[in-house]
Structure 1
């Protein structure tokens, strides 16, 4: 098998503009690229008839964060928790979790105060504007 390396973690969003603003302006991730993709090959590859996508790639350090808005859009999933099979989240490393939480805008509620796990990692979770889970971790 070919050697695999991580390229991106993708999140499908319903409205790219406010989500891009959140990850860029609120969390400080730099935009690497923005583009649109369509056509028969794309629609066939993603398994959605006549699909087009608006994409934004953000610099997450060792891996890109890909935000994509599809047209047509599918149905939204119900709010999920981390213990459900198929649940997803983005993990972003920070130097100081407590300081990062203190810098979050007041309208962002964390699932709990920052906690230190048995492995010694300090973590906190919150949701982005569309309900996707974001984890900040201090190793």
Structure 2
């Protein structure tokens, strides 16, 4: 039986962070996501499901334009893994579109790190990569018409 036979539907994209309260303003205030839900999960069933002994986690679900992003802070925290460049296996990023990338870029707060200014690729799309406060990559695109 394939996943399609089970009517698989998207629910969220998750990012594990070290400090939820430090990262939340980036997604809420800079990217404009709405806080849809905040909750904590712990207990034996959760620990078993995530494969982490004595796990507990604080969650925030953020929503914008039909996408839900889950940021989660775990206890106990694991040792941080080294940052992967975009060209390395296991690299990850979130991708969002805007109507006017130059305007979006101009309106970014000064403390938001970008990899470069907006660039127009051979596809005609313009792209910009940002880093959230914990160095997770976020791609913002303006799709060519």
Q: Same fold (TM over 0.5)?
A: yes
Q: Give the whole-Å Cα distance in 2 for the aligned partners of 1:120 and 1:32.
A: 34
Equivalences, count: 139
Gaps of 5+ in 1: none
What corresponds to 2:122 in structure 1?
Answer: 118
Which residue of structure 1 aligns with residue 33 of structure 2? 29
Task: Tell me the equivalent position of 1:6.
Answer: 10
Q: Report the structure number with the largest CA radius of gyration.
A: 2
Match of 1:108 among 89, 99, 112: 112
Q: How far off is 1:62 after superposition? A: 2.6
Query: TM-score, structure 2 length as denominator?
Result: 0.91
**Residue aligning to 2:62:** 58
Match of 2:96 in 1: 92
If the length of structure 1 is used for normalisation, what is the TM-score?
0.95
List structure 1 segments (4+ residues) > 3 angstroms apart after TM superposition.
none
Alignment of 1:45-84 (within 5 A): 45-84=49-88
Q: CA RMSD in A?
A: 1.0
Give a deviation string over 1:14-40, Cα, whole Å, max 9, x none.
011111111111221111101000110
SS at match of 1:99: helix
CA deviations on 1:34-79 (whole Å, 9 max, x unpaired) are 1000110000000000000100000132321000000000011112
| Post-superposition offset of 1:2 | 1.0
